[in-house]
Chains A and B, each alone.
Chain A
Amino acid sequence: MAPFEPAALPELLPVFYRRLFPHGPYGRWLGYGGVVKNYFQLREFSFTLRDDVYVRFQSFSSPQELERELQKINPYKIDIGAVYSHRPNQHNTVRPGAFQPQEKELVFDIDMTDYDDVRTCCSSADICSKCWTLMTIAVRVIDRALTEDLGMRHRLWVYSGRRGVHCWVCDDAVRKWSPALRAATVEYLTLVKGRADTVKKVNLSYPVHPFIRRSVAVVEKYFEEYALVGQDILGSPESWDKVLALVPEEHREALQGEFPRRKDSVQRWEVLRGRMERTRGRGAAPCYADWEIMLQFCFPRLDINVSKGVGHLLKSPFSVHPKTGRISVPLDLQTLDQFDPFAVPTITSLCHELDTAGSDGEQEDVGETEPKRRARDYKRTSLAPYVRVFEQFVEGMESARRGERLRRSDIQGDF
């Protein structure tokens, strides 16, 4: 299969927006059931066109108009912004200061480059199957907190297309959250603190908040496979010295002595963990260094700036990544552990699949309308399962809205 060539985008994008992009569910998502008047019309979109031309404050009177425009403009990249007080495409006609962002989904952006200090296999924009586990852990940790602690229901996790994941929280109440509350959420979810030169980035003290305890429980499930086997963080004196730098002095020497006598990271970790656990059992001076190490190597690192601003723009699901050609596809939480970022379809591979499917001579229904045929096109490609996940997400919100309407009419006695 031909690799992705950015130069081919001008040819591929029209095909993508005509036959692959899931306009239907996308419009249903952002329309939010039409409950709030003009919600869709007040939404900002931004497009990146060729030659890095960037246009903001695009808005459309309906999902259909958006579809037509996408097929006309064929943007390289789509970003979604906030729902504003006035139609974004008319913002110049509004009195200065009156044009304000009103609502937006709460979003999170987790980027692999933020973990460079604890990755040995790759750095900066590179990722591999070994370090991808970090993203799996991040999704699990954050998603648990969003549902159990914060009571959020409608979360969409999306592969960013290269080296990270995004999360869109779409609950009605959350879309109205202030910047302060969004920033507070990121702070609540932050355990790894410090700049490049900070050695110890996680510091725990008694008593440990339930959020931390539960997050450690999630990390623990992946730690052995990822850190001990995959990254082999205790595999050699150089690497285990880095880890022991995170352990308080009084324990370091003993561990330094014990480590050479064990044969691999897994065994060495057992020594360290056992020792820490015993301090906690004793009651006096509990030490959490084992948890701190796990968290420093694995706990998610969020970018507060992405989440804080109501007006902040974020790459749209199903947007194409201009460098890798990969589609930003939704993640299925049920099969998250098996997700392989290298198996995500690229725009090239999808178009290729369409060609092949077409030439298979599949009988097309003569009476079938053009849009209907197009709508089923993506189903013939590897994009299908991802669109299915997206549809389930949208249906989840729609059913919740119906439930809410029923509940309200029951209370009011309307029939």
Chain B
Amino acid sequence: MEFSSRTRQKHLRLAGDRRELYPHSLQFYLEPPTESISLVEFESFAIDRLRLLKVVENLGVSYVRSTDSYKTKLENELRKLKFPYRALAEDDYEARRKDHISHFILRLAYCQSEDLRRWFLQQEMDLFRYRFSQLTDGLMQKFLEHVNLSFEAVSEDLKTELANELCASTPGLSLPKVKEQMFYKVGLADAVDLFRTRRVFVKDGFAYVPFKEIDAIVLNNYRTKLSKALALTARSLPSIQSDERLQPLLNHLSHSYVGPDYSVQKNTGKISLEQIDSLSVKSFPLCMRQLHKALRDSHHLRHGGRMQYGLFLKGIGLTLEQALEFWKKEFIRGKVDADKFDKGYAYSIRHSYGKEGKRTDYTPYSCMKIIMSNPPSQGDYHGCPFRHSDPELLKQKLQSYKIPPSGITQILELVKGMHYQLACQKYFELTHEVDDIGFSLNHPNQYFTESQRLLSGGREPKKELSTSGNSQQKNNSQESMNLNSTPTSSNTTADTELEGLEAYFTED
């Protein structure tokens, strides 16, 4: 008999050996992966899952979850990103493995704060809910047995005795239906929602749940387990954060922007300074329009505003010379004399173009970065207006920009739900008079590019194109997968293996 040590098992990577790990396309993610994976795979799995969860979030806000459009779109995304999408698929091993590993990687990134945990939990639950609903009855039964959620079935005799009570307690179940359906005795903690709303019969500390409500129970169970697991992983935070292999990757994953970084200016020099005023009204996202207006009005912007707006302008194609001219002209009108400008502000502009100091060519800020870091204070105009402005003031501003009242209401609703980028998408739709923005907004420069494309007739405005969403994604995967200014450790090679991460997921 072979005594295989744990280390040896970890290195076994013949695909056939591991298939038994994933008997179902769905899982509760109870056991962390124990294999070693390469840094490249680690990163790409994580990014793909993050993309998936963001789509889950967007779809959840834009569509009712049980509708066909929701289901189709989600299935498309799952298929595209190579996650398990069909419950019956037999040769799903690679997808299931990716599903397993990517979930655990994101746990490391998203356990770090209450907000992150809440977001991750919500999206994972929605994803699970969809995948569970796709199972056939037979597969569902098998899955429940697999995760030890086979609740005690109520005997026929007991059911007959309680028939009237069961019928009166369970909405939608007439007496004949009660007789034909299976009922299960479920502990109150597992059936919280049904218990709370009095939609089940409750006796002696148990809820009597009909088979058709079992998915709510399973979902609840999943939520509880994942919530606990996240809290547990959070306790390993100090060691996670000091792990040199992970720290640069995870640090930005939860704040990451997973698209083009607009540092490569393909349209450099194609914008003239005279155009900026009109462009700010037509094609700038609200944050940049606001910054531009503030600059024109007060002939000055503070540091946060200069960075956010300055880098944006670089991203839309302003050359260094144009930028210097632009800022200088404006600041001089604000009583900054030319000398002072050249000595101070000019240096800083050259710096952000990578021409000074350590010559880092700074990349324009993504929406995520603008929303989540460096909130504006009194006298600042940077940040995301949907996130940082007082809703009343935001409303007035939108009114002054002639946005129709119904549109303003929709925007404010999204803001209330904390969907800032979706609010900006709505702003795009209203200012460009299209029904569907056609892409997922993640970056102010993306807003600008798409707007220009639309206005120059490069795209069909009124039809909802799923392909334009796809092409955006293709762009993302073809371009470098650089997380915003993420330095990967110069010591690691692409083949470096990551081992021993499962310690972060287990209780000692």
Contacts and interface: CB of A to CB of B under 8 A. Distances in A.
Interface of A: 148-152, 177-178, 180-181, 183-185, 187-188, 207-213
Nearest to A97: B234
B204 A148 contact: yes
A213 B169 CA distance: 11
Contacts of A152: 205
B205 A210 contact: no
Main secondary structure of the interface of A (DSSP, over half): helix
B29 interface: no
Contact of A184 (B167, B192, B201): B192
Contacts of A178: 189
Interface in B329-387: none
Contacts of A209: 168-169, 198
15 contacts: A149-B203, A150-B204, A150-B205, A152-B205, A178-B189, A181-B188, A184-B195, A187-B197, A188-B195, A188-B198, A188-B202, A207-B168, A209-B168, A209-B198, A211-B202
Contacts of B188: 150, 181, 184
B205 A188 contact: no
Contacts of B28: none
Contacts of B205: 150-152
A180 B202 contact: no
B159 to A, nearest CB: 15
Contacts of B189: 177-178, 181
Contact of A151 (B165, B167, B192, B206): B206
Given A184-B188, A188-B202, 7 more contacts: A150-B188, A151-B204, A151-B206, A177-B189, A184-B192, A210-B201, A213-B168
Nearest to A184: B196
A148 to B, nearest CB: 7
B53 to A, nearest CB: 24
A338 to B, nearest CB: 30
B168 A180 contact: no
Contacts of A188: 195-196, 198, 202
Given A150-B205, A151-B205, A210 B195 contact: no
B196 A148 contact: no
A149 B202 contact: yes
Nearest 4 pairs of A and B residues by beta carbon: A151-B205, A184-B196, A151-B204, A207-B168
Nearest to A206: B168
B234 to A, nearest CB: 9
Contact of B165 (A150, A181, A185, A210): A210
A331 to B, nearest CB: 23
Interface string B196-224: 11100111111000000000000000000
B83 to A, nearest CB: 30
Max count, chain B CB within 10 A of own CB: residue among A177, A178, A210, A213? A210
Interface string B150-165: 0000000000000001
B229 to A, nearest CB: 15
A209 B196 CA distance: 13
